[in-house]
Structure 1
Amino acid sequence: MGKKYYTIGMAGHIDHGKTTLTKALTSVDTDRLKEEKERSISIEPGFAPLYNDAEMEISVVDVPGHERFIRQMIAGVAGIDLVVLVVAADEGVMPQTKEHLDILALLGITQGIVVLTKISKVEEELRDLALEEVIDELKGTVFEGATILMADSLSGEGVERLKQIVITTLKGMASKSVRGDFRLPIDQVFTVKGQGTVVRGTVFEGTLDTGEEIIILPQGIHTKAKQIQAHHRKESSVFAGQRAAINLSGVDYKEIKRGNVLVTSTHFTVTNTIDVCLKVLRAVNHPIKQRMPIVAHVGTSEVMGKLVFFDRNKVDSESDDILCQIRLNETIVAKRGDRFILRRPTPMETIGGGWIIQPNGGKYKFGEETIALLQSERHGSPQERVLRLVEQYKCVDEGFIIREASITHKDLRDILEGEDQWIVFSQSNVTHMKIVDECVNSIEHILRGFHEEFPLLLGINIGELKQSLKRYSGALVDFAIEQKHWKRNNGFLSLEEFIPHLPPEWEKRCNQLITLMEADGTQVKDMEKYFHQVGIPEKWQSDFYHFFIQEKKIVSLDDKKSYSYQVFLKTVEELKEKTGERFDIADAKAALGLSRKYLIPFLEKLDKDGLTLRTEGIRKWIGTSIKG
């Protein structure tokens, strides 16, 4: 197994010690801005490396705790695997503690550790009261039953234990998938003198290599990863779950902003209408109305829009999921399963969140028909979800399917064994026969086009064919090739019925060229003179030359002279008849009457093709095949 990468988030109320605890864990002060230093509060998410060995790397994101910086908090926790909820023992659970808990739950973050900090400031009795309060507040939340620790960042008490529990917990968790297409939502953009534009973010999925082509969405700006860093270390690649800084080539930093997304594939959806499954918080202070303005947070993006219901006009407080739509004022990058947070722009409050069931929302009518459609999108059978993944990625491993389609291993086995159209390759890669047929048709199309453009060649190099079919894995292309009776010839592939041939418009001149060479016998001119004599342009000469060799029309003596195949064959037979088992240059010259200009290349061709073996000036006949 490869190395795993994780990011944990420090969340909690302002001044409860998140940044100090992060520093105690990592020796890094994540408050880097001048204003943060002056005011002793975090304004932007801060990042630091926590742990790194051969098996795993863990990064920390310290998010702002002040209510005015909730937008930065949401951007910071996007993509984290585990949260450390920080509660000061001298203050207990505060408003932002609760809001952070709500946001984390809505984002689908279920793994958490609670830390009571500043324990040196309170008596043991108050610590116990604070602990009881935390336990009570966690009841009914996804963090009920979470590990609760006590720590003091200044004295170091409990810090090492916290670190070890984080490491142990993450070792038991699956890491983000490196199999999907690369995606990094940007949370910071800046410029470095002499380097240019740099963006930072947590890699949601996939991998990126230095020098690889990148697309910045939703703008569609094409660039390259000029340099990659992870916590100030220069890296050749970066992987899902890892914090990364990417130095972009030829892009002005003013063209990019937080919320944009780096990808390496064109498969990602850019949209301004998303169908969603929404959960509204119970503690909402104001009614939620049809088409009310909202602020949507998806990944690291923050976009204004409106909320559209299809089965109601108002929500006061709701515990059940609501199937609805968000229409945004700007485009975002989204995919099924992405989490989002909704906030009211004024008065500002978090009203709910959930997950995206369809990133390409349509225009629907109010009523039960639309709700039924959204229910179908929301649930979909496990087989439909697996097929959707295979249609997108063409060939995926079983672990990736289980995570992305939200199904169990048993579900997947039932699907694969229940229909013979599913195909499983080595290393548990899965595809479907419809994808194989699609690949076969693509190969057929490429071969026909190649034969039309290059009728002289045996076929297309299989390596080049796979490069043209990058959207399919190499194993899938090999499997598809085996499905039809195509011809293989020394690493080249062609249609079964294809025979290399001269283009009709040049056939007469080429035949004339061979006739001229045969007439000249062993006293041939340079090949370019024959081409010139019959009027074949220079741009075609190399292709025709190799075709003549391939089809045994000529035999190349050196880079300038060739014999017609029949003349070469006749000359070899003549030399055999007029010499014994062994002969030297003088014997060959007497037998054939050739000058050294022709004789030496001819004899060396015999050696090269294994017809003769030369030892100290004497040649011995040893073979019979002519290689051309």
Structure 2
Amino acid sequence: MTIDLGFAWLTLPDGREVSLIDVPGHEGFIKNMLAGVGGIDVALLVVAADEGAMPQTREHLAILDLLQVRSGVVALTKADLVDEEWLALVSEEIATLLQPTSLAGAPIVPVSAISGQGIAALLAHLQEATARAPERPDRGRPRLPVDRVFTLAGFGTIVTGTLIDGCFRPGQEVEILPRGLKARIRALQRHRQAISVAQPGERTALNLAGIAHQEVERGDVVTLPGLLQPTTLIDVRLRLLADAPRPLSHNALVDFYCGAQVVPATVRLLEDDELLPGKSTWAQLRLHQPTVVERHDRFIVRIPSPSLTIGGGEVLDAHPRYHRRRRSEVLHHLETLALGSPEAIILTHLEQPVRRMTGTTRLQWPAYEVAELARLSNLTQPVTQQALETLLTQRRVRRVGTYWFALNVWQALSEEALRLVRDYHLQFPLRSGLSKEEWRSRLHLPPRLAMEVFETLRSEGLLTEAGSAGLLRLPEFLPTFSAEQQRQVERLIQVFRENPFMPPTRGEAEALIGGELVNALLERGELVKMGDGTILFLREAYERAVALITSYLQEHGTITVAQARDLLGTTRKYVLPLLEHMDEQRITRRVGDLRVRLPQPAGT
């Protein structure tokens, strides 16, 4: 009796090779059956003519229907053991079973392994069914759900599976999820023949270097590094089988099967408190361990006790935010994901704040590059680009550098970005502007996106930089002193001029006119701070001191701290920070206890 997956291949009459996955038929091994059936394009449903449809046959057929396998053939085996009348009755029974499923109308072929009856017809029907099966799309995002892991002497770790999407080539670095392990493809095989590239839909064996076979198991997914992220929350369209033993309740515990993986999951029904047999609904599944799925993946759900298939459906969003129940906007969003055009699907992603996959922080301003949008929408990049261009002509999206925003999101972001700077000007009218880093942090923008947003606002004349200190200001803003503040500033400047090389310290200056006015004079450049900012010089005094010292150096070649002190008529307290500042500005260089003058660029 088959208890686990078996693998082989077959050459059809037209010369094409097809891969065969033999799955267990016994109801006790449905878990193994599901690990193999998830990657098939054509079903060969085997029913013994002398027994007819068994309970597991009905469950297998329900699973094929939930997975939407639309191309298939029924092999009615042991046809030589029954008479024509019985064969006709069993064929009619099977046709009736198929009628409400995705395999309705599939050919039913009586065959005998002993006499060879019907084998040629079966091959012909398989050839036709495989020709009808849709080709697997290549969206450039390869992933291989692992259904078998083993090791061979001289080769090391080998994993097999059906390649979904994208291509693999020897030499590529790959990532095994959800474990996050890295490996390299040493070689590829299909049907025990070495190949240079694995295509979507092909049964593929990967010889992996850099990883032990004990580190990989059935259900893991091989993909390219950084391409996919495991998830623990997914939005789905869920259908309960008509013969399910009871309604499915909100927060029910089920086993979730997708690809070759199975994980426990909690069902959050978003419309009602229970789902009746034969009905469908929008739901969120909370997966109890990180799982790799993508939009449009088909899945099966089973109840753990008694172990029974009760339903399945389609993944609509692999990385959604947490939804509150019975919200019309949530249901509309899910309906768009399920049935909408590429433009509608992309727009709903651009308009929906999302939960970051690495934590619970919500991205307040959803903005994506084309590749990420294509991945979220499960569309090819050309289709995604064309849809974005269409939305752009309709003035429903905005391109900001390499990022795309929904127009209403961009308008809200730009208004908030300008408001932050405007409020800063009102709060600190003497300061030149808000620091870029504080602005970025308060907007919750990643650095590269913040740069693109600023450049766009600057190009539109809405925001500008204040000097070279990384400050942002509104173009029309100019720090100005009130009449009283101007009088205070003039008094302080007079104090600085009275003792130009022994001026008040910062603390003394702030005691005279306040910290805000001192900061404003520093930002304007009227005061120059030395070292840690304790010592301040009036700009004109600083420039005069630099001129005196450089003139002395031109004549004598070197200068000591004591000589500089005597030259300026000041004390070590002031001259040492001044000389260190000149070193930082590359006007001078310290050599032991001496300073020498550095060559200056032309024009300085």
User: TM-score, normalization: structure 2?
Assistant: 0.58
- 1:379 to 2:339 alignment: yes
- Provide the rounded CA distance (Å) in 2 between the counterparts of 1:365 and 1:296: 22
Question: Which residue, out of 326, 329, 345, partners 2:285?
Answer: 326
Gaps of 5+ in 2: 351-367, 405-604
Query: Who is 2:299 aligned against?
Result: 340
Identity of aligned residues (%): 34
Per-residue Cα deviation, 1:78-101 (whole angstroms, up to 9, x for no partner): 111110111111111111111011
Amino acid at match of 1:175: E
Pairs within 5 Å for 1:373-522: 373-385=333-345, 391-393=369-371, 434=399, 437=402
How far, CA to CA, are the matches of 1:263 and 1:197 in structure 2? 16
1:555-600 CA-to-partner distances (Å, cap 9, x unmatched) read: xxxxxxxxxxxxxxxxxxxxxxxxxxxxxxxxxxxxxxxxxxxxxx
1:395 is displaced (CA, Å) by: 11
Q: Does 1:363 align with 2:322?
A: yes
Q: Tell whether 2:141 aligns with 1:184.
A: no
Provide the rounded CA distance (Å) in 2 between the counterparts of 1:364 and 1:177. 31
- 3-state SS of the aligned residue for 1:349? strand
The answer to whether structure 1 residue 269 and structure 2 residue 220 are counterparts is: no
| Structure 2 SS opposite 1:76 | helix
Partner of 1:297: 257
CA distance, structure 2, for counterparts of residue 302 and residue 137 of structure 1: 27
- CA, structure 1 residues 169+198, in 2 after alignment: closer, same or farther (shift >3 Å)? same
Q: Secondary structure at the match of 1:209?
A: coil
Q: Structure 2 vs 1, CA of residues 55 and 395 (structure 1 numbering), >3 Å: closer, same or farther?
A: farther
Q: For 1:53 and 1:139, locate their aligned partners in 2 and report how far apart those are by CA, in whole Å.
A: 29
1:243 partnered with 2:203: yes
Structure 1 equivalent of residue 584 of structure 2: none
- Is 1:125 the counterpart of 2:82? The answer is no
- Most deviating of 174-183 and 208-217: 174-183
What displacement does 1:378 show? 3.1
Secondary structure of 1:238's aligned partner: coil
Q: Deviations over 1:404-455 (max 9, x none)?
A: 659xx9x999969966759xxxxxxxxx99498559xxxxxxxxxxxxxxxx
SS at match of 1:334: coil
**Aligned pair in 2 of structure 1 residues 94, 240: CA closer, same or farther (>3 Å)?**
same
Which residue is equivalent to 1:139? 99
AA paired with 1:351? I
Q: Deviations over 1:142-178 (max 9, x none)?
A: 2221112111123222112211222233224432123
Q: Is residue 57 of structure 1 aligned with residue 44 of structure 2?
A: no
Tell me by how many angstroms 1:362 deviates. Answer: 2.2
Cα–Cα, structure 1 residues 171 and 283, in superposed 2: closer, same or farther, change >3 Å? same
- In structure 1, the gaps of 5 or more residues are 1-40, 423-431, 440-628
- Inter-partner Cα distance in structure 1 for 2:265 and 2:91: 40
CA distance in 2, matches of 1:412, 1:53: 39
Q: Deviations over 1:509-541 (max 9, x none)?
A: xxxxxxxxxxxxxxxxxxxxxxxxxxxxxxxxx
Query: What is the rounded CA distance, in whole Å, between the counterparts of 1:313 and 1:386 in structure 2?
Result: 30
Name the structure 2 match of 1:550. none
Distance 1:436 1:242, change over 3 A: farther
- Report whether the alignment pairs 1:211 with 2:188: no
What residue in structure 2 maps to residue 224 of structure 1?
A: 184
Deviation at 1:346, TM superposition (A): 0.7
Deviation string, structure 1 residues 119-152 (Cα, Å, up to 9, x no partner): 0111111111111111122222222211121111
The alpha-carbon deviation at position 361 of structure 1 amounts to: 2.9
SS of structure 2 residue aligned to 1:340: strand
Amino acid at match of 1:275: D
> Aligned AA for 1:186?
V
Residue pair 1:294, 1:344 contacting (<8 A) in 2 also: yes
In structure 1, what is the equivalent of residue 123 of structure 2? 163
What pairs up with 1:553-568 in 2 under 5 angstroms?
none
1:196 and 2:156 correspond: yes
Partner amino acid, structure 2, of 1:49: W
Residue 189 of structure 1, CA deviation: 1.1
What is the number of residues matched between the two proteins? 382
Which residue number corresponds to residue 216 of structure 2? Answer: 256
Q: Structure 1 residue aligned with 2:108, among 137, 142, 148?
A: 148
Shift of 1:371: 3.0
Q: Are 2:134 and 1:174 equivalent residues in the alignment?
A: yes
Q: CA deviation at 1:202?
A: 0.6
Worse-superposed segment, 167-176 or 296-305: 167-176
